[in-house]
Amino acid sequence: FTMVDTDTSGSYDCTLGGDDSADFAKSVSGKVCTVTFAANPNYESPADDDTDNVYDLTIAFTDGTNTLSAQTTAITITDANDQTPAVSVDSAYSQAESTSTTWETFTITDTDTTGTYTCTVAGTDAADFSSSISAKVCTIAWAAAPDYDSPADSGGNNVYDITLAFSDGTNDLSAQTTAVTVTDVGLSIADGSASLAESAANSAAVMTASITEGTASTVSIISGNTDADSDGTGPFAIATSGAITVADADDIDYETTTSYTLLVVALDDDDTVSAEMTITITDVNDQTPA
């Protein structure tokens, strides 16, 4: 502040007062009073009396004889984008293969009130992922649902190597390296049911057992497939796809058996699973009245 005084003599000074005067320092050279912060102001850690980033101050000026009454002012500190965002990224993750593309969300910690946030996927297997951001939340998704039996990573070993970098538009957090390992989900087979007319012919389609999460090497009916005519062939057969068909139509007779509960077992190199298939036989008008 420059004091205007036409006198040619005087001992000039300025005095700080008010609630937050301790947060400032002053010096005088000639008629110039310089007021500085005692410490650099930090929006995230306000030092003013009310801790609201508004510093209340009075400044009085004198020439040694005549004093200008104290003048009141307030200095408001505004936020600057000066904080580097922080994000916690583990060095390794594990995820079971899935039909979903969902993977992980990361929340950016940044005390600044301004900034344009971004996250970037890079690294050997970056093409297998996509990124999106909403406010300070970064969502990383698979470009396609991961399949353990058909790995898409560059090494073909179900370990996807990527880096994740974050920015607030001014300050960049250096890229963090991580590896996502896709794990196998064993075979799964679900119980099922169907109905079949007793007049169905050989090779007629009955139903398909739902076998998921992998490819079964062997699927078989281990019980419930009663060979009524004892010719060595049960009424039903099953393919590795899970498709059940009529194998011996002569075994199927509503008047003898109204339903079958087949225990179906599927297996691959690692898993053996089973489920029940219930086949209800419906009556056909095939009897001659007596």
Q: pLDDT > 70: what percent of the chain?
A: 100
Same domain, 135 and 159: yes
Same domain, 162 and 198: no
Tell me, what's the pLDDT at 127? Answer: 98
Output the CA torsion sign for 142, 145, 147, 151.
negative
Task: Tell me which range, 19-28, 93-102, 111-120, 212-221, is most confidently predicted by mean pLDDT.
Answer: 19-28
If one counts the domains in the chain, the total is: 3
Same domain, 206 and 239: yes
166-189 residue pLDDT tens: 999 999 999 999 999 999 888 889
From 76, 111, 126, the end of a domain falls on 76
From 183, 217, 240, the end of a domain falls on 183
Same domain, 193 and 162: no
Tell me, what's the pLDDT at 129? Answer: 98
Same domain, 179 and 194: no
- Asked whether residue 6 is domain-assigned, the answer is no
The pLDDT-based confidence of 113 (bands split at 50, 70, 90) is: confident
DSSP secondary structure code for residue 190 in this structure: -
- Asked whether residue 41 is domain-assigned, the answer is yes
Q: How far apart are the first and last CA of the chain?
A: 124
* pTM tops 0.75, yes or no: no
Domain encompassing residue 238? 188-282
Strands (E), 112-257: 118-122, 129-134, 137-142, 159-167, 172-183, 188-189, 192-197, 205-208, 211-212, 218-223, 236-238, 243-246
Q: What is the CATH classification number for the domain harbouring 254?
A: 2.60.40.60
From 183, 216, 251, the end of a domain falls on 183
